[in-house]
Amino acid sequence: MEPAKSRAFPPAEAGALLTVVTLLGIGAGTLVGWALGSASGGLIVGAVLGLPAGVAAVYRRYHGYFA
């Protein structure tokens, strides 16, 4: 019986995950900022927090591919 071949790293899936999580952070920040009276401030805070969250999500999902 042959061992199962490891899957190649899927960069398109990783990029999509990064994009989705980042945009969710930006959207959530914008909504909170809008509710507090400053949508542009919320957009900036959402971007500042959303990008690291996206990177962390990609790392958590795909860290096994590089070990």
**Positive or negative: CA dihedral 49, 53, 55, 56:** positive
Domain hosting 57: range is 30-67
The DSSP H or E segment spanning 53 is: helix 39-62
Give tens-digit pLDDT for 1-56.
677 676 778 899 999 999 999 999 999 999 999 999 999 999 999 999 999 999 99
Decide if 12 is inside a domain.
no
Decide if 65 is inside a domain.
yes
Q: What's the pTM? A: 0.83
Decide if 15 is inside a domain.
no
Decide if 17 is inside a domain.
no
- Report helix, strand or coil for 60: helix
User: How many domains, in total, are found in the chain?
Assistant: 1
Decide if 67 is inside a domain.
yes
Q: Per-residue DSSP letters for 9-40?
A: P-HHHHHHHHHHHHHHHHHHHHHHHHHHT-HH
